[in-house]
Chains A and B, each alone.
Chain A
């Protein structure tokens, strides 16, 4: 079998200038995005349900727990049968739960028999879920361990607290794995009800990438969606509102470094300043060693190994965040430099050369964004889940090219109020 596969790999070649995406709906109402890639005899399937922790309501951790239990049992198969089934086929099954997306995915070879059996097992696992008390009890214990594990990691302590502060009062504020009390209170019926409401065709975006035809893709999407209830698309959550006052918070932690997080409410992907903010963040702290923050904090002053800024572009608005770690005694110095860099960035247009360098990096490297099936899969999921136009990637370069230094400055001025920042430190200040 290997011989055949290798032959296949080496003979086929394809150079993609642009990404071709097909989109359609299954009869049950699931949205499907598909890109055919040639060269490797494999298929990636990713199911993105709008069923992540922002759907927890008051039952923190319910979404993650529900997602975790998918793959433990169906009305016909035990956990060991499911695991052994995927393993025998060489297929990879995995689940992940974020704040917007609950993800179930599978990677399989496209060899006819293997693909057929993998898909049949996959759709059974997704659509004929049986939640069993034994697995719920076990997974709760696993979550208690994860909660403990998070407590010994200053980076995780900081990032959970930052979410709480920046998303205060919103469904994004709590930890996606919940807390001890909220997990203890979750019962089997809660999982069943959650699954019934959210794991439905109309609440699903299917992304398919690999060496299959469009006809095959249609049939595969149909097969997956057919087993699901039609249901309803989840209602839109309210957007995260901008912070109304500055917050300085310190958590004492016996670590050698202080983790410093500075930020504010951010944007979603429909925001009118999206491209200016994207390009600006790339230049400010999103592009590794060449970014302005890295230059100031690391290259000029040797204060940190890692310093970056990011914009999470979530459905109901994400956050803007500057993050660094430095030895405890240098915290104040690093904080001052980070804040000054941000302030200058907002108050003065950046150097035209910096802007051009940033554009050149994004545009010149754009081919890397879709250079693997996995990358394409992620983009299809994002485009589908966040209702972006299919031309999103193909238009990206033109949108970036148009941005000038004033656009960047104005966009950041609109987004970031220096007087209303969250400034969070986790470490030992002594």
Chain B
């Protein structure tokens, strides 16, 4: 596949040659990649369907780098990034981007923090210039921190405290992962930690992680890749390479098994989530196993929806989730809401039965796998409709250490999976004796 793509693409490594000293380039899969001497990675994908672009700056830091009493600090810092630099006072970043027609925001997750602007393509320089400015020049105001701390606590109340289902998934991570490793604490942080960060903690976090060699600039849209690289060089190259980045300690998750918890919450509907520790693509020794788990999640999701919701009507919703691209090992989860008046046990048994059948008679899955492959192939095209989806995959893959090629390998890798692989993967990983489980037991509102 790659060879044809290369032929198709008018960008070649030659287009940049070595005329741009200090910048190294490669281009394939329609993607231009470059890096600056200070370590900043640049990824550009041209999409000229409309005169717009999205520019994202991804930092390799997120909740998985944190520990108590600083859980949620990556997210808090994300909020503080809108609170002014030496050059732009509080709120001015957003005002200038808005005045120039931009749509901007940021997001924090377990393994990354990212900032973005979506704008008309005449505003490319502005977006890169302003994003570069706040990589290094943030002013930390105590007054702004106190206000923003309240905003984040309100965010936590809205997203988690007043949302029983979100509490279930927060609880699942708490019981599934040891406290001193990654993925235990919520991305937004524990409330006690949010209440206690000092300005110094945030500044230290910023100084440690916000460096060119810990970041990736991704631009997708109607832009000239050479121009993107030139602007990046102009605005980022003054920043020094931070040698401490490579000395940062990795903090992989600590997998706990056989953990069960019942949460009694004011709610109307029960919810059950069952989780199995599995490798992600990054952590897998045998990479094909990760794609098998990915296929298994699609096939089980479809299969369980058919049997439990449509046919037997013992569940009103069901979802199977696998996070192929997590930085570390991850969990494969099966979550459901039982039909009204049904015991959780009834549904759990039905799920076990279906998994057993899948293990014993993989040949029954052949059609389901064929249909899933057709959907994934089509999806690959559909997902290119939004420049934000394209840039998300590029930035995320680079940030977790997988590299952008994985985006283009995905469909081929999934096409390699056959029914027997699913049987093997299910047998190996879906061990109901070892699983972790959280049950929401509704209490009267």
Contacts and interface: CB of A to CB of B under 8 A. Distances in A.
Interface string A1-12: 111011101110
A15 to B, nearest CB: 6
A361 interface: yes
A153 B101 CA distance: 34
Given A42-B382, A253-B445, A2 B377 contact: yes
24 contacts: A3-B1, A14-B48, A14-B49, A79-B310, A83-B306, A84-B371, A89-B374, A90-B377, A138-B310, A144-B340, A145-B340, A149-B268, A149-B269, A257-B162, A302-B146, A304-B154, A305-B151, A362-B101, A365-B103, A367-B50, A368-B52, A368-B118, A372-B385, A372-B386
A175 to B, nearest CB: 15
Contact of B51 (A80, A138, A367): A367
B384 A9 contact: yes
Q: List 5 tightest A-B contacts by C-beta distance, closest first.
A: A364-B101, A90-B378, A365-B101, A302-B147, A302-B150
Nearest to B313: A138
Nearest to A304: B154
B5 interface: yes
Nearest to B164: A152
Contact of A87 (B101, B268, B375): B375
A301 to B, nearest CB: 7
Contacts of B380: 2, 5
Contact of A371 (B9, B49, B306, B313): B49
B306 A306 contact: no
A425 to B, nearest CB: 14
Interface in B336-350: 337, 339-340
B267 interface: yes
Given A7-B8, A256-B157, A91 B445 contact: no
Nearest to A356: B99
Contacts of B313: 138, 141
B251 interface: no
Given A6-B1, A87-B374, A305 B310 contact: no
Interface string A275-297: 00000000000011110000100
A364 B102 contact: yes
A327 B154 contact: yes
A263 interface: no
Contact of B372 (A16, A87, A154): A87
Contacts of A40: 49, 381, 384-385
B5 A6 contact: yes
Contact of B101 (A10, A83, A149, A361): A361
A275 B69 CA distance: 50
Contacts of A387: none
A360 B101 contact: yes
B381 A41 contact: yes
Contacts of B310: 79-80, 138
A111 to B, nearest CB: 9
B416 interface: no
Nearest to A80: B306
Interface in B423-445: 442, 445
Contact of B337 (A17, A145, A326, A357): A145
A144 B445 CA distance: 17
A327 B195 CA distance: 15
Contacts of B33: none
Interface size, B (range): 35 or more
Interface of B: 1, 4-5, 8-9, 30, 47-52, 82, 90-91, 94-95, 98-103, 105, 118-120, 123, 146-155, 157-158, 161-164, 222, 266-269, 302, 306, 310, 313, 316-317, 337, 339-340, 367, 370-372, 374-382, 384-387, 411-412, 442, 445
Nearest to B49: A39
Given A256-B161, A327-B157, A367-B51, A9 B99 contact: no
Contact of A141 (B82, B118, B340): B340
Given A2-B380, A371-B52, 15 more contacts: A5-B381, A42-B378, A108-B378, A138-B310, A152-B268, A257-B154, A289-B82, A290-B98, A305-B152, A325-B157, A361-B101, A365-B102, A365-B120, A368-B50, A372-B387
A147 to B, nearest CB: 9
A92 interface: yes
Given A91-B378, A141-B339, A148 B146 contact: no
A373 B386 CA distance: 8
A37 B268 contact: no
Interface string A29-43: 000000001111110
B95 A290 contact: yes
Contacts of A37: 49
Contacts of B442: 152
A208 to B, nearest CB: 15
A109 interface: yes
Contact of B50 (A16, A92, A363): A16
B30 A10 contact: yes
Contacts of B103: 365, 368
Interface in A23-79: 37-42, 79
A289 B94 contact: yes
Contact of A256 (B51, B162, B164, B337): B162
A331 B63 CA distance: 31
